[in-house]
């Protein structure tokens, strides 16, 4: 994250950021392609399985261009990318863009809902904790949010399924099994357990940050000034402190955009909800390099966008930073 | 030389920082704040307990953790097996101790490696500034672009996951965050008056880094390190769940948990599931409490400046 | 097809690409026929209950499986038994069908598109006469459809998964349609009728003229592949191949593309998606199916799952009619029956065992520079086999739902191929589990335990010395690369390591992803790069494209799925004899020798326990993966 320098124009800012973004994209994709080539036997052997005769291996090496140098392969892939083609996964018999179109909406639903739920609880409780610092409530809430930090997601998910779906049939044992977003959202009962599991970890994040951010702000000069001027405590907190504390949350929100690409893999595995995370895991196990590269690009773009959004939000919310 | 040293000492004194005693005074104040935090103290107590449990325990409660014992598979808790047996006949309580050794070792080592490397990288980058800083941070950005789990999975699939390799794999994803934070601290600190003053007087840059920047950033570094331990233990458990963990007969809490979870619907094998899960949670939460209290402690000190 | 460990407990697992399975004659039968039982020896109860027409049966796919290829001419990248027997064959029947709605592993002429082939000219000429069944677009399944397939194989060898250099179509001197319903093949050399039918003709799936096109909505046959030849280097077939491949790559249109709607099997595709969870594929009956029986269900639907636990939860909550119980969730099997004594799903489901017609093993590297010479000694292999506690692992790891592999021939279901030697020692074969035997084998050949690891002390070729090429000081310390991903597998290797250690064999376990190990399975010549010791990643199922349990893809010198480079001239000779002779005693010699020689180290073979809705009758789990849902029906 690099806020705008003084006397830099908006255009200049954008150019600088785009330049940085391209460098990052380059580094990440080279690294991914390099990693793929570290698999013993190469990607073709993994693709064809152990039945492949040398005849077939040679044929496919040529077909997919694996017999060319790393440099040439990378350039070919870049060329393909610039033509808008994210690649074709032979293992899945799907275009990578079709894979993404199929999996991304589902992950977005899960991550968005989980984020919203965790924010709804995290922000107010974080403020409350800061105001009532070191009280019993503060300790208890701290304990709960730390529980969120410390519980393995898959453990929580499976245990919840076992208690609330199998032993007692309150919720279904899986996330919604539909493919369209509308149908998924139309089955809220099935969304409860996965969203709760996902939100539990995030809640910890928001409430801790909110708490420390509010605490930081409470000792600032402008708060003392506002109090001296006679503003009520509530006004001080909600009008001044809260707004400034939101800055850190906005930053974090922006930075968490990449979790849309592969962050929710454990929830997806436990609740039979195949999204981007599981797709990536399968691609890694299968050495499905086209998918790996495509997802990597997507994740990087998401990060860059996320950083940008975070900066913009930061600028809009923090009165000290003005463009 | 002596004159230079005297001049520097003078500047430091004016600013309230004593050259020789700065670190010690800082730690003493931090400790005071830390000790106020009951949760953190509880965390320390638990960490001590778990270290004893894992490393001293096997000498007291001796079990065979190498040979499988197919007659005893899944035995329920009894007087000879306090927490029952797992699916290959190993005593579960003994296995928790041995598994804990791996989890703790990997967690601590990964944290140390990532924090050391990240600190050096971040400090150098921040202090150098300019083009060097830009390039170095682009690499960090690249690393932070990928969701950490993705990187870890790819690396675990390529390289054999022995404990040493896992340490480095986890450290690889963690050092990016540390580097960025330390670089931020460095940037903030190098603009401070006393560092500027050193420059003006003509002191060497490395001196500034070592004498002023690192000690003042050390709060952040320690805090990050503590959180890193908790995160590394969790990551190791995730790797175990994805069956990318350590090879038998070695084990860790995550692999034990993952193995136990396959039996969750086949009968009441609670001793396979809850003990490793609870230990992971308690250990991580303890380190998190400690880290949080440390952060409060160091930040308070900073705020008083 | 090759069988990987990822989903071992499922009837539908395992991909054994057995392109060239040698068939061995059955002496008990007449020279030209092999028993094909069409009568359903179904073990489902309630087949006497009143049948109800209609209904939608929901079927669980094994965890992690996605169907993704519809065209029977399937490349290696997509070849697995789900795509072939579990998907394509419902719609596009192969020329000859194998297996039945029971546990037969023989050819099934009533369900085939052609009558039994006749072999003449001493086994050098094969005549196939088609039955005249119909495609759904009115075409007849005729001789041209067979020639179309054979031409396509000639044109695009590398793109058909079943191709092995030297075998079909390379072993054909010529072939042609001599009449509307007759195809004659002239072979380059005489073959055994059984082998050729089971392993070569089995690879053929007739294709309709409607597919002989190189662009959409072109006239049927305009592609010209059926009449193409080597003269133009099969250019026309290449064009048709490209067109059909493009269609096959467009998975979204599988259920709507007119190309794929031309079917000759009992089912048609009604919906298709590549999602990895939820309902993914639905079939409805094909009213123009010429064979029998006709489908009684209104439809059936596949459901996909991301892992075993979620599939089992679906079973427990009654969401699917046909599924499997992961072995971790089965009650321990006392051993008297193959099924659990208590049904964990209650009375709503009937349980059935589902065997896979295959073998499981780990591969040792005969070309390893340091330990290869030791592996070449039979007594060393014997010791390695003697420390595999197959009965113990079956009981502990697989809860009793597994049986030993004892040689190169699958022992379940019982068949005439199994040599008596494989049934010894309660099914363990010639080498039963015994740590003491392993130890004494080694010590009597000049090995001594040094620091817990057997080390060769007396190098040499005498009968009490280590053996040719084994240098003094060689330690039996072996690294085993095994495939991660399956909990039971991880437990199995842990047990093996523990038992081997007691005999002085040190095993260092290295977990790798399945595909990483596949990368290592290229047979390597002796040298510094050939350093793996043991690979443990799966087994082999004799379920397509060939169905006879012979050793050509596995044990012959230079075979593509012989990663350890096992080579033995007698084995090669015996394998080749089964190519040309239909005598059971010839096959028996090959099978017995293989079981005794241990080219691989055999491992336990798990079977799945399937659960079927008690209201759904006539569901069976054929070991060859031949699923015939047209036999299924709901009951009152």
Q: Would you state the pLDDT for residue B212?
A: 65
Phi, psi (rounded to 5 degrees) for C609: -110, 115
Residues of B in contact with C489 (CB under 8 A): none
Is the pLDDT at A172 greater than 90? The verdict is no
Asked whether residue C296 carries a pLDDT value surpassing 90, the answer given is yes
Which residues of B lie closer than 8 Å to A, measured between beta carbons?
A: 36, 38-39, 134, 138-139, 141-142, 144-147, 149-150, 153-155, 157-158, 230, 234, 237-238, 241-242, 254, 257-258, 261, 264-265, 273, 277, 280-285, 288-289, 292, 295, 299, 303
Average pLDDT over residues A275-291: 83
Helix then strand count (H, E) for chain C reads 14, 26
Token pair in block for residue B176 = 């990016």
The length of chain A is 323
Distance from first CA to last CA of chain B, Å, rounded? 30
pLDDT digits (tens, 9 = 90+) for B276-305: 999 999 999 999 888 888 877 776 555 443
d(CA B44, CA B42): 5
**Residue numbers of chain B with a pLDDT score lower than 50:** 1-22, 303-305
Highest mean pLDDT among A227-231, C480-484, C496-500: C496-500
Whether pLDDT at C436 is above 80 = yes
Q: Report d(CA A131, CA A237) in Å as an integer.
A: 9
pLDDT at C11: 19
The phi-psi region of residue C123 (left if phi > 0; otherwise alpha if psi is between -120 and 50; otherwise beta) is left
Interface test with B, best of C398, C452, C498 (most B CBs within 10 A): C498
Q: How far is C394 from C396, CA to CA, in rounded Å?
A: 6
Contact C501 B66 (CB under 8 A): yes
Structure tokens at A41: 């036997």
Q: Which of A35, A150, A162 sits opposite B264 (nearest CB)?
A: A162
pLDDT over 70 at A268, yes or no: yes
Task: Supply the DSSP symbol for C86.
Answer: I
CA distance C606 to C403: 6
Bond prior to C193 in cis (omega within 30° of 0): no
End-to-end CA distance of chain A: 16
Residue C595 has pLDDT above 80, yes or no: yes
Q: Which residues pair with C2 in a beta bridge?
A: C540
Q: CA-CA distance, B210 to A173, in Å (whole number)?
A: 56
Give contacts of C 12-71 with A, CB under 8 A. Answer: 15, 17, 19, 64, 66, 68-69
A contacts of B284 (beta carbons < 8 Å): 149-151
CA distance C266 to C385: 46
pLDDT > 70? residue C547: yes
What DSSP designation does C87 have? I
Q: Which residues, 6+ apart, have CB-to-CB distance to B88 below 8 Å?
A: B68, B69, B70, B73, C396, C397, C491, C494, C495
| Closest by CA position to C204, among listed C106, C107, C99, C94 | C94
- Mapping DSSP to helix (H, G, I), strand (E, B) and coil, where does residue A180 land? coil
Cβ atoms B121, C473 nearer than 8 A: no
Rounded Cα distance between B60 and B290, Å, is: 29
CA atoms of A240 and A245, how far apart (whole Å): 9
Q: How far is CA A55 from CA A257, C17, C518, in A?
A: 45, 15, 17
Beta strand segments in chain A, E: 88-89, 94-95
Give the residue-averaged pLDDT of A274-286.
83
Helix axes B148-158, B214-241, angle to 10 degrees: 60
Whether C158 and A41 lie within 8 Å, measured CB to CB = no
Nearest by Cα to B242 from C490, C414, C545: C490
C392 lies within 8 A of chain B by CB: yes
From residue A263, how far is each of A123, A216, A256, A280, B258 by CA, in Å? 22, 30, 9, 10, 19
Rounded CA-CA distance A50/C554 in Å is 11
pLDDT score, position A7: 56
Of A94-98, C128-132, C328-332, C564-568, where does mean pLDDT reach its minimum?
C328-332
Q: Is the pLDDT of residue C7 over 70?
A: no
State the sign of the Cα–Cα–Cα–Cα dihedral A277, A281, A286, A287. positive
Q: Give the rounded percent of residues in chain A with a pLDDT score beyond 90.
A: 6
**φ, ψ for residue C277 (rounded to 5)?**
-150, 150
* Residues of C with Cβ-Cβ distance to A51 under 8 angstroms: 1-2, 17, 19, 76, 79, 161, 553, 560-561
- What does the pLDDT average to over A221-231? 78
The answer to whether B285 contacts A284, with C-beta atoms less than 8 Å apart, is no
3-state SS, one letter per residue, for C32-55: CCCCCCCCCCCCCCCCCCCEECCC
Q: Please list every residue in chain C whose beta carbon sits closer than 8 Å to the beta carbon of residue A60.
A: 76-77, 158
C290-303: burial string, b at 16+ Cβ within 10 Å, e else: bbeeebbbebbbbb
| Residue A290 with chain C: CB contacts under 8 Å | none
3-class secondary structure, C226: coil
The stretch C428-453 carries a mean pLDDT of: 93
CA B249 to chain A, closest CA, distance in angstroms equals 23
d(CA B168, CA A209): 29
Q: Mutate one of B169, B262, B272 to test the C interface: name it (highest C CB count within 10 A).
A: B262
Q: Residue C505 in contact with residue C534, Cβ under 8 Å?
A: no
User: Which B residues in the span 83-102 are in contact with C, Cβ-Cβ below 8 Å?
Assistant: 87-89
Give the model confidence (pLDDT) of C109-161 as tens digits. 999 999 999 999 988 999 999 999 999 999 999 999 999 999 999 999 989 98
Span A25-64, pLDDT tens digits: 888 888 877 877 776 666 777 777 777 777 888 888 888 7
Computed over every residue of chain A, the mean pLDDT equals 81
Pairwise CB contact (< 8 Å): A262 & B150: yes
**Residue A111 pLDDT more than 50?**
yes
Contact A285 C515 (CB under 8 A): yes
CA atoms in the 13 A half-sphere facing the CB of C56: 12
Candidates C490, C500, C518, partner chain B, best to mutate (most B CBs within 10 A)? C490
Least CB–CB distance from A278: residue in C19, C76, C276: C276
Alpha helices (H) in C301-422, listed in sequence order: 308-316, 372-375, 378-386, 390-396
- Is the minimum CB–CB distance between C485 and chain B shorter than 8 Å? yes
Could you tell me the pTM of the whole model?
0.82
What is the distance, to the nearest Å, from the Cα of residue A105 to the centroid of all Cα atoms in its chain? 13
Burial readout B76-94 (b: 16 or more C-beta within 10 A, e: otherwise): eeeeebebbbbbbbbbbbb
What's the CA gap between C325 and C350, in Å, rounded? 12
- Chain B touched by C31 (CB under 8 Å): no
**Stretch 496-535 of chain C: residues touching chain A, C-beta under 8 Å:** 513-516, 518-522
Question: How close is the nearest chain B Cα to the Cα of A100, in Å?
Answer: 16
For A276, nearest residue in chain C (alpha carbons): C276
* pLDDT confidence band for C37 (50 / 70 / 90): very low
pLDDT at B11: 44
Number of alpha carbons in the 13 Å side-chain half-sphere of residue A265: 24
């Amino acid at each position: 994250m690099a806020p705008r320098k003084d006397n830099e124009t908006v255009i200049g800012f954008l150019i600088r950021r785009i330049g940085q973004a391209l460098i990052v994209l380059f580094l990440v994709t080279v690294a991914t392609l390099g990693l793929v080539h570290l698999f013993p036997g190469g990607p073709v052997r993994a693709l064809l399985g152990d039945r492949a005769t040398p005849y077939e291996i040679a044929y496919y090496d040529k077909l997919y261009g694996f017999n060319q140098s790393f440099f040439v392969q990378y350039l070919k892939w870049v060329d393909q990318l610039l033509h808008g083609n994210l690649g074709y996964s032979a293992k899945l018999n799907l275009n990578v863009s079709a894979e993404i179109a199929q999996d991304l909406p589902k992950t977005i639903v899960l991550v968005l809902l989980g984020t919203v739920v965790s924010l709804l609880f995290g922000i107010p409780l974080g403020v409350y904790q800061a105001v009532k610092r070191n009280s019993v409530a503060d300790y208890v809430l701290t304990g709960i949010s730390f529980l969120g930090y410390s519980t393995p997601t898959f453990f929580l998910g499976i245990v919840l399924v076992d208690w609330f779906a199998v032993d007692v049939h309150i919720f279904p044992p899986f996330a919604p099994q539909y493919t369209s977003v509308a149908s998924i959202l139309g089955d809220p009962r099935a969304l409860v357990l996965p969203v709760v599991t996902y939100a539990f970890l995030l809640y910890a994040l928001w409430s801790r940050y909110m708490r420390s951010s509010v605490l930081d702000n409470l000792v600032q000069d402008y708060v003392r000034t506002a109090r001296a001027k006679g503003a009520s405590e509530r006004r001080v907190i909600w009008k001044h402190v809260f707004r400034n504390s939101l800055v850190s949350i906005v930053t974090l929100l922006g930075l968490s955009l990449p979790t849309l690409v592969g962050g929710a893999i454990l929830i997806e595995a436990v609740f039979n909800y195949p999204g981007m995370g599981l797709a990536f895991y399968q691609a890694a196990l299968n050495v499905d390099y086209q998918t790996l590269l495509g997802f990597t690009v997507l994740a990087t773009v998401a990060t860059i966008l996320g950083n940008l959004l975070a900066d913009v939000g930061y600028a809009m919310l923090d009165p000290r930073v003005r463009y | 030389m002596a004159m230079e040293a005297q001049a520097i000492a003078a500047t430091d004194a004016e600013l309230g920082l004593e050259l020789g005693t700065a670190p010690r005074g800082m730690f003493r104040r931090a400790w005071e704040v830390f000790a106020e935090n009951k949760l953190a103290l509880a965390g320390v107590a638990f960490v001590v307990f778990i270290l004893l449990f894992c490393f001293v325990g096997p000498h007291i409660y001796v079990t065979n953790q190498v040979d499988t014992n197919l007659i005893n598979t899944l035995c329920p808790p009894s007087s000879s097996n306090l927490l029952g047996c797992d699916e290959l006949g190993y005593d579960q309580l003994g296995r928790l101790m041995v598994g804990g050794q791996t989890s703790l070792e990997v967690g601590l080592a990964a944290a140390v490696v990532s924090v050391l490397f990240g600190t050096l990288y971040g400090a150098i980058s921040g202090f150098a500034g300019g083009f060097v800083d830009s390039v170095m941070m682009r690499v960090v950005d690249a690393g932070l672009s990928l969701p950490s789990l993705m990187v870890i999975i790819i690396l675990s699939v390529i390289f054999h996951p022995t404990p040493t390799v896992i340490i480095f794999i986890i450290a690889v994803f963690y050092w990016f965050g540390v580097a960025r934070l330390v670089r931020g601290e460095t940037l903030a600190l190098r603009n401070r008056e006393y560092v500027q003053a050193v420059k003006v007087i003509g002191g060497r840059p490395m001196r500034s880094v070592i004498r002023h920047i690192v000690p003042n950033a050390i709060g952040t570094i320690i805090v990050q390190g503590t959180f890193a331990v908790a995160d590394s233990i969790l990551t190791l458990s995730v790797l175990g769940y994805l069956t990318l963990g350590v090879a038998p007969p070695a084990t860790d809490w995550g692999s034990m948990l993952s193995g136990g979870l396959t039996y969750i619907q086949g009968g009441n094998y609670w001793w396979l599931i809850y003990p490793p899960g609870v230990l992971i949670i308690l250990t991580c939460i303890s380190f998190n409490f400690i880290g949080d209290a440390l952060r409060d402690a160091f930040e308070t000190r900073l705020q008083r400046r | 097809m090759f069988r990987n460990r990822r989903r071992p407990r499922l009837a539908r697992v395992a991909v054994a690409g057995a392109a060239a399975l040698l068939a061995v004659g059955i002496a008990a039968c007449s020279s030209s026929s092999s028993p094909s039982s069409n009568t359903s020896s179904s073990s489902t109860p309630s087949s006497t209950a009143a049948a109800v027409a209609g209904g939608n049966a929901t079927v669980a796919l094994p965890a992690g499986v996605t169907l993704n290829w519809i065209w029977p001419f399937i490349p290696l990248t997509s070849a697995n038994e789900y795509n072939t027997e579990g998907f394509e064959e419902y719609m596009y029947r192969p020329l000859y069908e194998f297996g039945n709605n029971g546990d037969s592993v023989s050819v099934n002429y009533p369900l085939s598109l052609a009558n039994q082939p006749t072999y003449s000219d001493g086994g050098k000429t094969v005549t196939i006469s088609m039955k005249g069944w119909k495609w759904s677009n009115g075409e007849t399944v005729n001789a041209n459809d067979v020639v179309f397939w054979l031409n396509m194989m000639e044109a695009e060898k590398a793109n058909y998964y079943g191709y092995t250099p030297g075998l079909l179509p390379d072993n054909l001197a010529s072939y042609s349609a001599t009449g509307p319903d007759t195809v004659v093949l002239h072979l380059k050399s005489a073959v055994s009728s059984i082998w050729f039918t089971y392993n070569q003709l089995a690879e053929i799936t007739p294709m309709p003229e409607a597919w002989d096109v190189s662009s959409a909505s072109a006239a049927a046959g305009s592609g010209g592949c059926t009449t193409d030849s080597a003269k133009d280097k099969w250019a026309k077939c290449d064009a048709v191949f490209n067109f059909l491949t493009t269609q096959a790559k467009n998975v979204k249109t599988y259920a709507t593309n007119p190309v794929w709607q031309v079917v000759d099997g009992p089912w048609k595709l009604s919906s298709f998606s590549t999602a990895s969870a939820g309902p993914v594929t639905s079939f409805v009956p094909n009213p123009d199916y010429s064979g029998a029986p006709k489908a009684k269900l209104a439809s059936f639907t596949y459901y996909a799952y991301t892992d075993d636990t979620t599939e089992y939860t679906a079973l427990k909550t009654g969401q699917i009619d046909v599924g499997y119980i992961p072995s971790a969730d089965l009650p321990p099997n006392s051993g008297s029956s193959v099924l659990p004594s208590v049904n964990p799903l209650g009375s709503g489901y009937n349980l059935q065992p589902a065997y896979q017609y295959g073998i499981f093993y780990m591969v040792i590297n005969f070309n390893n520079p340091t330990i290869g010479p030791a592996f070449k000694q039979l007594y060393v292999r014997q010791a390695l086999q003697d420390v595999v506690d197959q009965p113990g692992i079956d009981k502990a790891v697989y809860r009793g739902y597994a049986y030993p592999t004892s040689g190169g021939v699958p022992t379940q279901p019982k068949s005439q191929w199994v040599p008596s030697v494989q049934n010894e020692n309660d099914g363990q074969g010639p080498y039963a589990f015994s740590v003491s035997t392993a130890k004494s084998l080694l010590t009597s050949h000049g090995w001594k335990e040094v620091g817990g690891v057997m080390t060769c002390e007396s190098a040499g070729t005498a009968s009490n010395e280590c053996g040719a090429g084994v240098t003094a000081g060689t330690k039996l310390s072996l690294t085993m690369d095994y495939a991660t991903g399956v909990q039971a597998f991880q437990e199995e290797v842990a047990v093996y390591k523990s038992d081997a250690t007691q005999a002085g064999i040190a095993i260092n376990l290295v977990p790798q992803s399945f595909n990483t190990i596949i990368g290592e399975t290229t047979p390597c010549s002796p040298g510094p790069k050939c350093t793996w010791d043991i690979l443990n990643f799966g087994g082999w199922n004799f379920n397509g494209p060939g169905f006879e349990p012979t050793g050509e893809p596995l044990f012959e010198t230079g075979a593509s799925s012989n990663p350890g480079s096992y080579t033995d001239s007698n084995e090669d000779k015996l394998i080749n004899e089964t190519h040309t002779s239909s005598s059971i005693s010839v096959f028996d010699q090959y099978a017995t020798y293989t079981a005794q020689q241990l080219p691989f180290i055999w491992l336990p073979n798990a079977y799945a326990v399937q659960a079927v809705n008690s209201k759904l009758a006539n569901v069976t789990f054929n070991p060859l993966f031949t699923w015939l849902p047209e036999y299924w029906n709901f009951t009152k």
